[in-house]
Amino acid sequence: MPARSAINELPDELRADLEKRLVQGSFSDYRGLAQWLNDNGYEISKSALQRYGSKFEQRVAQLRLATSQAKAIVDASPDDENAVNDSLMRLTQEKLFSFLIETEVEIGEAVTPAVLAKIARAVADTGRATISQKKWLVEIRAKVEATAATVATIAKKGGLGKGAADQIRREILGITTK
């Protein structure tokens, strides 16, 4: 079993600061980062920082690419049915599951109860968000249908023919007859 990375043993706040410095420094100056950590009481080699920085840079690049692609997809196709958000929820759940599997393989031991609790919380939060999203979508659809019916009734009372009223209703509901 490989030794645990000394960087993973850093306090969360210091590791977050290290990651921020890595990004701001364009993933360079590992010697300076090693000195900074040494000044903070942690002796971590330049090569250990390089290994960690390389993996972290890949994750940042993947995140930037995914963000860019998601933005392009959203810009190209408005999300009336909230499909992008639904897909994002499913992707998040899948990534959390993959993380659990990969973590056990990488470190050769089970995930600690504390980490598992955080992951379980993330999965539960994602599940609640998915349920809230579905409820919201049902509520919005009901409101749109009620509004369409009201508009159609008002239009008929105002003298519009049944065909014109039905066309207005279809437009509100997003039903095309092309």
Both 177 and 122 in one domain: the answer is yes
Which tens digit of pLDDT belongs to each residue from 36-80? Answer: 999 999 999 999 999 889 888 888 887 777 767 766 766 666 555
pLDDT digits (tens, 9 = 90+) for 139-161: 888 888 888 788 777 777 777 77
Residue 178 has pLDDT above 50, yes or no: no
For the chain, how many structural domains are there in total? 2
End position of a domain, from candidates 60, 77, 94: 77
Residue range(s) defining the domain that contains residue 86 = 80-178
Conformational region of residue 26, where left means phi above 0, alpha means psi within -120 to 50, and beta covers everything else: left
CA distance 54 to 52: 5
Give the domain-ending residue among 16, 44, 77. 77
- Does residue 21 sit in the same domain as residue 99? no
Regarding whether 131 and 86 lie in a shared domain, the answer is yes
Same domain as 33, residue 105: no
Q: Are residues 107 and 129 in the same domain?
A: yes
CA distance 82 to 69: 17
pTM over 0.85: no
CB atoms within 10 A of CB 27: 18
Q: Which of 77, 101, 128 is the last residue of a domain?
A: 77
